[in-house]
Amino acid sequence: MQTNKMLVTKNGVGNFRVETYLDGTLVNSEDTGISYITDEEILAEEPVDSGIQPMGVGAVHLVL
């Protein structure tokens, strides 16, 4: 069985960095180009209205 992990951190230029590990070995490290913000800053933002509406099991059943 393989272990796959993803670590999101702040890099030296202040952007989010995403590192991917496979069985403990770094296989990819990428600067996202997106400015890093803290969890508190993320939680303080207004939610984005994506237009996605939750559906109950009955509604999903009717679609099927």
pLDDT, position 55: 66
Residue 9 and residue 25 in contact, taking contact as beta carbons nearer than 8 Å: no
In a domain, 25, yes or no: yes
Q: Is 50 inside any structural domain?
A: no
Residue 10 belongs to a domain = yes
Q: Count the domains in the chain.
A: 1
**Residue 9 domain-assigned (yes or no):** yes
Give the pTM: 0.63
**57 part of a folded domain:** no
Does 62 map to a domain? no
Task: State the pLDDT at residue 41.
Answer: 92
Q: What is the pLDDT of residue 59?
A: 55
Per-residue pLDDT of the chain (64 residues; tens, 9 = 90+): 999 999 999 999 999 999 999 999 999 999 999 999 998 998 898 777 777 776 666 655 555 5
The answer to whether residue 19 sits within a structural domain is yes
Give the range of the structural domain holding residue 12, as residue numbers without chain letter.
1-35
